[in-house]
Every structure is written in C-alpha cells, then in structure tokens.
DNA sequence: GATAAAAGTGTAAATTTAACACTTTAAAGG
DNA sequence: CCTTTAAAGTGTTAAATTTACACTTTTATC
C-alpha cells in the first residue's frame, strides 16, 4: 500500500507576527516591541513568536500577543504568510502575519509599563527587522480596503466617541481628508449609532456629542450584507 | 549574549493546496485530482504537496501544480493558511491555500490525459478530503469579491471571447443573473475591450461578435485604481 | 464682551444605477 | 423557399446615490 511518506518531507519553523493597530487622539499607530534577543537585539519589531506543534495559528497569535504585551481578548485576523528564503537570517523560517485593531486608551497602562512595547505613529516608524515593513504595508492595504467597505470603528474607538473622532479615524486610515457633512450623513444612513445626551468637552470649547455603536443593529446589518462606501 | 534558541522551537510540515478555477461553455469549474496514495487514496482532492525547505511558497505552489497537472505559467495568488490541529490525520500539517484562474480550453489536453486530474462543476462536486471544502469555500468568497471589484475575465477566458461568454462567466462566479444591457454598458464604460470584426458562430445562429482585452489600457486603468462594480 | 476654535447643520446639481422590451440575424426544419 | 426558433444586439427613463459647498452655534479664553 502506497502510503505517502510524510517522513521524507521537510519540516520548517513557522513564526507568527502580529500587527496591532491602535488609535488615539494623535491618530493611527502600531504597536512594536524592542527585541531583547539576537539577532537584531535592541531593534524594533512586530510582536512575534513561533508556532507550537499542538496549537492552531489563531491560538498561537493570541498566545504570542499576550505573552509579549499582556493584551488579552483581542480579535486578530490572519493576513498573509511570508516565505522569502532569507527572511530570517538565523534559520529558514516562514511567518504568518496577523492583524488586529484596538483602542489605545482602554489598554494602555499594562503595556507600556511592564513590557517593552511602544506605540508608533505610522508617520514616524523606526526601521523594522526582517520583512516586517512588507507585512505592515500589506496590513495597511487590507485595513484601507476594509475601511472602505465596512464600518470599522467598533474596535479602534472607545465605547463612547464623537463624530469628529470617528471622522479622524477614517481620515487617518485612508490618509485623506473627508467632508464633514457628507461623512456624517453617510454614517447616519447606516443607523448603527446611538447619539447620547452627553458631550465630550475635552477637545473643543463647544464640546461634541458622544455616540456609541448599536451592536445589535450593526450585526443585523452585517448579516444583510450592507456596504459602507467612503 | 541571549541568542534566541531557534532549536527549541517546533518544526512543522507545511503543505500547499491549489484551487484552480476554470471556465468553459458549461460554466465555472475547479480542477481536482484523484489521490493515489494513503490516506484517502482514491478520493478527490485539491492539488497539493509539501513545501521544501529551500523554496518560497509561491515557488512551491508552481512546482506542485506543475508536477500534478502539467500546468505551467499559471499565476497563483495566496489565499489563506489553514491550521486546524487534526486537519491531516497522519501528522500535524498546516496548509497554505493558493488559487488561480485559467481558461479550460487552452490547457485541457495535457491534463486530463496524462494526469488523473479532472474538472468538476461547482454544482456537482465530489466529497473532498481533509478541510479542502473549507479552502474551496474561502476561495469562492475571494473570487466573488474580486469579481465585484475588478474585471477578471483576463485569465478565465480565451484570447477572443464574446459578450455573452463574458456575461456568463460573471453570472457563474456570482451565481446570479445579470441584465444583458446593463452588463454590456458597464463593461464598455471601462474601455478595455477591443471589438473584433469576427463573429463566433459556434453557439448561436446569429453569431456573436468577438472581443479581446486591451492589455495596455487595462494595466493603465489598474494603475489609476479603477473599480468595476457589478 | 470680543475673539477664537471647533461642532453642527441642508440643499441642489451631477452622476450612477436600475428597470425594462423589441428588433435583428441566420440556421433548421417543414 | 417560407416559417420557426433561439440567441444577439440595442436605448431610454426614473430613481438613487454621490458630491460640492458655507454659514451659524457654542463656549472657553483673553
């Protein structure tokens, strides 16, 4: 009986790298850690680690992210598997990139202090190791495509947020200015926001009304396959 | 010096599976092969094989496809990496799925004869091994998204084709009927087709004019970031 | 009480999308 | 050769969506 001989096949190291996008009043950022081991010790890197034999990629991504940043309960999505021959100088390693969107303010403290992780503005990135810049590029492209086709505020904003904040989020993802009135009417047309009787007085003198997502309506819309075109 | 010990990390088998979409007068199909080895010998399977240490995933996909079908010069795109623990019953194996679009007529002969590969209509698929049905599902979803956002006729049609053919291609990808007049005017608005002075008399009594893609204009449009909404 | 800085608000024109039916052509069959 | 048949080809109108655009309100600060 011809059993395919799995033993003859090569095994490889499989790494994971997490691209964590965050948003705060300054704009869109990503989370990097300072490597404390060779190669490239001391350089900034995506949050990465190796897959263990007995876990799925999704599980590994969660584990790696948690171990290096303390972050928990983050929904990550698989992006792409990178396989250039010499991408890791030590040994042949492939890496599966994952990405996630989070609100910086509601996770901040733990991170920056305990771990050597730090948020970087997309405009002021340090050099990244290996092929991490390519990973980031692909992640940004995906994020933009997503932002143009479905609302993504959910993950990146705090529970309560203002319209100007939501607009700034979109502007910083898409890297273009949007018209205030058109933006608002498009968002309102979706009917997935609830306007609160509260204002945020932090940013402007006049203050801006706070909103929150109506999760139920949002999920219903998702099922109906709605689209959000910006 | 703390060199991360790569030796302590697990290595895994990394497979590839190719989802080859084809199109002919009968509609959209995929290419499957009959496995001639255990496990699951005799069952139908996507075109798959293992990554070798010294090649990239793209290279491996090309090699595997060529070895099992004789197909050459096929542009494949990476889809997703599947990692369920028991997806392969023999040994822990992850698999990177690739997909491609080809015109059945211009590749047919070699395939079906020399290799035990066969085209299957999407509507009449046999049971697939492992998690290949999930791979296919994801590939179809991607193909539909692509079809709605950019013209994809290029790869799936012969060099010369008719409007009804192009429309049938779209209808079979999207699995919905489209309005003939609206479809044609949308396609024409792109200005990437050249109408030839020839008719195809095979299909209908009246005959249908043949067209071909204007590759230059197409690529220019791609650069401009045009969109094709159906 | 004047000033400054951001929030908030509506309309009209232009463009795009969707719905819809009859005529033309040539092969096939009587 | 006349009739039938089956698919190709062709435009218009109404509806919906998208875009462009400017002034008023509010409140903190000086």
Query: Which of B7, B40, B53 is best to mutate for the A interface (most A CBs within 10 A)?
Result: B53
Cβ within 8 Å of residue B7, ≥6 positions away: none
Q: What is the mean pLDDT of chain A?
A: 91
Is the domain of B162 the same as that of B55? no
Interface contact B13-A11, CB threshold 8 A: yes
**Whole-number pLDDT of residue A185:** 95
Phi-psi region of A207 (alpha: psi -120 to 50; beta: other; left: phi over 0): left
> Whole domain around residue A199: which residue ranges?
152-224
* Average pLDDT, integer, range B184-202: 94
Give the domain CATH number at A198: 1.10.10.10
Burial A27-38 (b: 16+ CB within 10 A, else e): bbbbbbbebeee
% of chain B exceeding 70 in pLDDT: 97
What proportion of chain A, given as a percentage, has pLDDT over 70?
Answer: 97
Final residue in a domain of this structure, among B122, B149, B176: B149
- Whether the predicted pLDDT of A22 surpasses 90: yes
- Any idea what DSSP says for residue A128? B
pLDDT in tens, A85-121: 999 999 999 999 999 999 998 887 777 768 889 999 9
> Tell me: the pLDDT tens digits for B148-185?
877 877 789 999 999 999 999 999 999 999 999 999 99
Q: How many CB atoms lie within 10 A of CB B220?
A: 12
Asked whether residue B230 is domain-assigned, the answer is no
Instruction: Tell me, yes or no, whether B15 and B125 share the same domain.
Output: yes
Clarify whether residues B18 and B99 are in a common domain.
yes
Do residues A32 and A120 touch, judged by C-beta distance below 8 A? Answer: yes
Higher pLDDT, B163 or B36: B163
pLDDT above 70 for A3: no
A54, B96: Cβ pair inside 8 Å?
no
CB B31 within 8 A of CB B69: yes
Judged against a pLDDT cut of 90, whether residue A30 lies above it is answered with yes
- CA–C1' gap, B153 and D29, in angstroms: 63
| pLDDT given at position B110 | 73
User: CA angle B141-B147-B149, nearest 5°?
Assistant: 105
Binning chain A into helix, strand and coil, the percentages to the nearest 5 are 35, 30, 35
**What is the band of A1 on the pLDDT scale with cuts at 50, 70, 90?**
very low
User: What residues of A are in contact with residue B80 (Cβ under 8 Å)?
Assistant: 78
Q: How many CB atoms lie within 10 A of CB B154?
A: 15
Coil/strand/helix, residue B15:
strand
Q: Do A81 and B57 touch (CB under 8 A)?
A: yes
Task: Give the pLDDT confidence score for residue A218 in this predicted structure.
Answer: 87
Q: B36 to chain A: which residues are within 8 Å by CB?
A: 2
Structure tokens at B24: 């002919």
């Amino acid at each position: 009986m011809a059993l395919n001989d799995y033993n003859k096949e090569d095994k490889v190291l499989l790494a994971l790298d997490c691209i964590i996008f965050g948003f705060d009043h300054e704009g869109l950022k990503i989370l990097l850690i300072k490597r404390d081991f060779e190669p490239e010790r001391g350089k900034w890197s995506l949050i990465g680690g190796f897959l263990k034999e007995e876990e799925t990629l999704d599980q590994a991504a969660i584990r790696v992210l948690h171990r290096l940043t303390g972050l928990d309960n983050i929904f990550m999505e698989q992006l792409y598997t990178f396989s250039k021959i010499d991408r890791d100088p030590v040994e042949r390693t492939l890496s599966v990139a994952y990405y996630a969107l989070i609100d910086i303010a509601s996770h901040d403290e733990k991170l920056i202090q305990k771990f050597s992780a730090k948020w970087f503005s997309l405009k002021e990135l340090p050099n990244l190791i290996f092929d991490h810049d390519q990973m980031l590029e692909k992640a940004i492209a995906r994020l933009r495509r997503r932002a143009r086709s479905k609302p993504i505020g959910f993950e990146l904003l705090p529970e309560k947020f203002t319209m100007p904040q939501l607009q700034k989020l979109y502007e910083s993802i898409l890297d273009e200015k949007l018209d205030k009135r058109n933006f608002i009417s498009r968002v309102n047309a979706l009917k997935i926001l609830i306007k609160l009787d509260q204002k945020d007085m932090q940013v402007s003198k006049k203050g801006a009304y706070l909103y929150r997502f109506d999760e139920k309506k949002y999920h219903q819309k998702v099922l109906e396959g709605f689209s959000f075109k910006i």
